[in-house]
């Protein structure tokens, strides 16, 4: 997609879907792997900001085009609800968007709120939604404080105290157990692990024979 060949990229993904029965594996092996490489090149100075924005937006467009396949791959509704968004100050939302697709496919009712929400607006939405789980995404280290502030604010709200909180993203990868210091209940390093961790946090018995996707590339929340 170096020359902006989005349609060609979509054809490649469509062809892959014809031979691959699990769309989740394509998310992990194609989209997530590509995003990591984009991030690596940008950090190393091998890609301009404009190119990074273009490739990231193109990936988001490609995933949006796959909505019909996501619906087809979804399991029956499980009576569980999660709220997913990137914390205040974050404009990197594609990780949260992809995570929400995985929860959709796993039978959750998903309330995806993109990112950059203030504590006041986030709490208001969470009170309205009565979610079982909150999933927060933090890409930039400088936004970890926003994640901690939001988690503490949620914990202080009596009617939200039973809601479990998961936090993940590139910002948490350099420090083991940083999620605990932020006050969260758990973390995950990729989309498959996030769904499994959600089941653990809510003590849900949910056995999937098709969840074992084999070796996959990493993806952060």
The tens digit of pLDDT for each residue in 45-59 reads 888 888 877 888 888
DSSP state of 132: S
Q: Please say if the pLDDT value at position 133 is more than 90.
A: yes
Distance CA 106, CA 94 (A): 19
pLDDT in tens, 203-215: 875 544 344 343 3
Distance CA 19, CA 9 (A): 16
- CA distances for 112 relative to 43, 67, 135, 143, 210, angstroms: 28, 14, 10, 19, 25
Is the domain defined by 75-201 classed in CATH 3.40.720.10?
no
- Judged on CB neighbours under 10 Å (0-12, 13-18, 19+), 189 is middle
| DSSP H helices in the chain | 6-19, 23-26, 33-43, 49-65, 67-73, 94-105, 119-129, 144-155, 178-182, 191-201
Lowest mean pLDDT among 66-70, 91-95, 111-115, 187-191: 66-70
CB 86 within 8 A of CB 116: yes
The pair phi, psi for residue 33, each rounded to 5°, is -60, -40
Task: Please give the average per-residue pLDDT across 124-130, as a whole number.
Answer: 92
> Global pTM?
0.82
Contacts of 215 (CB under 8 A, 6+ apart): none
Contacts of 164 (CB under 8 A, 6+ apart): 132, 133, 134, 185, 186, 198, 201, 202
Q: What is the mean pLDDT of the chain?
A: 83
The pLDDT, as a whole number, for residue 19 is 66
What is the residue whose two structure tokens read 């009576």?
Answer: 79
Distance CA 21, CA 6 (A): 23
Task: Please give the average per-residue pLDDT across 172-199, as a whole number.
Answer: 92
Contacts of 110 (CB under 8 A, 6+ apart): 81, 82, 84, 100, 103, 104
pLDDT in tens, 71-124: 787 889 999 999 999 999 998 888 899 999 999 999 999 999 998 889 999 999
Q: Please say if the pLDDT value at position 149 is more than 60.
A: yes
State the pLDDT confidence band at 62, using cuts at 50, 70 and 90: confident
Q: Please say if the pLDDT value at position 142 is more than 70.
A: yes
Output 174 or 127, whichever has higher pLDDT.
127
């Amino acid at each position: 997609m170096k020359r902006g060949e989005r349609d060609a990229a979509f054809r490649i993904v469509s062809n892959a879907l014809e031979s691959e029965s699990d769309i989740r594996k394509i998310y992990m092996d194609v989209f997530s792997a590509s995003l990591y490489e984009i991030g690596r090149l940008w950090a190393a100075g091998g890609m301009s900001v404009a190119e990074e924005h273009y490739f990231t937006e193109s990936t988001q467009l490609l995933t949006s085009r796959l909505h019909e396949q996501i619906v087809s791959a979804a399991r029956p509704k499980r009576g569980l609800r999660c709220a997913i968004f990137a914390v205040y100050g974050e404009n990197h939302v594609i990780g949260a968007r992809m995570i929400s697709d995985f929860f959709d496919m796993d039978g959750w009712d998903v309330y995806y709120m993109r990112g950059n929400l203030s504590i006041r607006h986030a709490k208001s939405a969470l009170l309205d939604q009565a979610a079982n789980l909150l999933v927060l995404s933090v890409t930039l280290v400088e936004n970890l404080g926003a994640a901690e502030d939001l988690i503490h604010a949620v914990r202080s709200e009596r009617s939200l105290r039973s809601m479990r909180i998961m936090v993940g993203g590139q910002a948490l990868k350099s420090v083991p157990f940083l999620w605990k210091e932020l006050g969260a209940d758990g973390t995950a390093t990729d989309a498959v692990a996030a769904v499994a961790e959600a089941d653990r946090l809510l003590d849900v018995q949910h056995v999937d024979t098709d969840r074992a996707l084999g070796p996959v590339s990493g993806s952060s929340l």
